[in-house]
Chains A and B, each alone.
Chain A
Amino acid sequence: MSWITDEMRGIVGKVMREAVSHPIALSDIRKWAMAVYWPEPLPRQYWDEDYAAQFGGIVAPEDFNPFAWMAAKPTPDDPPVSMSAFRESELGVETPDYKAILLTEIRARHGAPMRPGDVIRCVWKISDYMEREGRMGLMLYTTLS
């Protein structure tokens, strides 16, 4: 038994989604930092423009997701996909009938900081599939890059 079909192997390396964010809002940065640091107060550099000026102005935390809730592209009706989940069906391939999807590893390299007003473009590809027996049976590991 294998989760990986020939159709799935055929989409490795192909662009599955390209997204363009709306301009980053200062309030989105504040809310993100509040959520991550709660119950501690959010650090001053994420809300106090006068204080942040000594560091070049307010920037988003490196972990900030500019695509949450809604992007400029894709629009909510084109295609009808979640911005927080990935499925092979976005490339016209049948999605495996799995019980759950879990994120098991994140490797982030940060370049220029994200600032209020910035528009971020992101391209996702499936770069690898592998399988391994786990606690819940045969598990499919999909690497996105």
Chain B
Amino acid sequence: MGDPRTLAVGDEIPAFSREGTVHHWNRFAAVNYEFAGHHWDDDVARHEGFPAPFAMAPLLHAYLHAMLRQWAGPSARIAAVGIRLRSPFLKGCSMTAGGRITAVRTKAGETVAELELWMDDDTGARLSTGTATVAFPS
């Protein structure tokens, strides 16, 4: 778990991995009312130009939050998370997300870490990049 006393630029946070299956995506579809065919139907995905169904962007955004929360712990404040999707996370692939601290500062009684984030699949393709701001009580 992230310790605000030892945060340093260049530190990497623990990776976060998930499989690309409809078992994962159906659960998110159910809570986010997100049932577009390209997330579960092979024919719809192919019709739209994709080789297979792919994960929902809000789920990938949520995965980044989960990775940050697992690292930072329940008392930290996740202040900002951005994600830019570069390639689809396709059904049948696996995904690993990571992050690296790019800056640390103290502000208003908090230790604030800036991070760069990324997601890659098991073929080596970069699925997304992003940034985050996480504040720890000092």
Knowing that A55-B75, A68-B34 touch, tell me 15 more A-B residue pairs with CB under 8 angstroms. A32-B32, A35-B32, A36-B62, A36-B63, A39-B24, A43-B69, A43-B70, A43-B74, A52-B74, A84-B33, A104-B57, A105-B85, A107-B82, A110-B79, A110-B81
Q: Which 6 pairs of residues, A with B, have the shortest CB-CB distance? A: A103-B57, A35-B27, A63-B62, A100-B48, A107-B82, A45-B74
The residues of A with any CB-CB pair to B shorter than 8 Å are 28, 31-32, 34-39, 43-45, 52, 55, 61-63, 65, 68-69, 82-84, 99-100, 102-110, 135-136
By a beta-carbon cutoff of 8 Å, the part of chain B in contact with chain A is: 24, 27-28, 30-34, 38, 47-49, 56-59, 61-63, 65-66, 69-70, 74-75, 77-85
Q: Are B78 and A62 in contact (CB under 8 A)?
A: yes
| Bound complex: CA A109 to CA B32 (Å) | 19
Total number of A-B contacts with CB less than 8 angstroms?
Answer: 94
Cβ distance B86 to chain A, nearest Cβ, rounded Å: 9
Name the one of A35, A39, A63 contacting B65, with C-beta atoms under 8 angstroms.
Answer: A63
Q: CB distance B66 to A109 under 8 Å?
A: no
Closest Cβ neighbor of A103 among chain B residues: B57
Give the shortest distance, in Å, between A105 (CB) and chain B (any CB).
5
Instruction: Check A105–B65 contact: CB distance below 8 A.
Output: no
| Overall SS of chain A's interface | loop
Selected contact of A62 from candidates B27, B74, B81, B84, CB within 8 Å = B81
Give the chain B neighbours of A84 by CB distance below 8 A.
32-34
Measured CA separation A115–B66 after assembly (Å): 18
- When distances are taken between beta carbons in the complex, the residues of chain B under 8 Å from A39 are 24
Complex CA gap A87/B66 in Å reads 30
Please name 22 pairs of A and B residues whose Cβ atoms are closer than 8 Å in the assembled complex, sorted by A. A28-B31, A34-B27, A35-B32, A36-B65, A37-B66, A55-B74, A55-B75, A61-B62, A63-B61, A68-B34, A83-B33, A84-B32, A84-B33, A103-B56, A104-B57, A105-B83, A107-B80, A108-B80, A108-B81, A110-B77, A110-B80, A135-B49
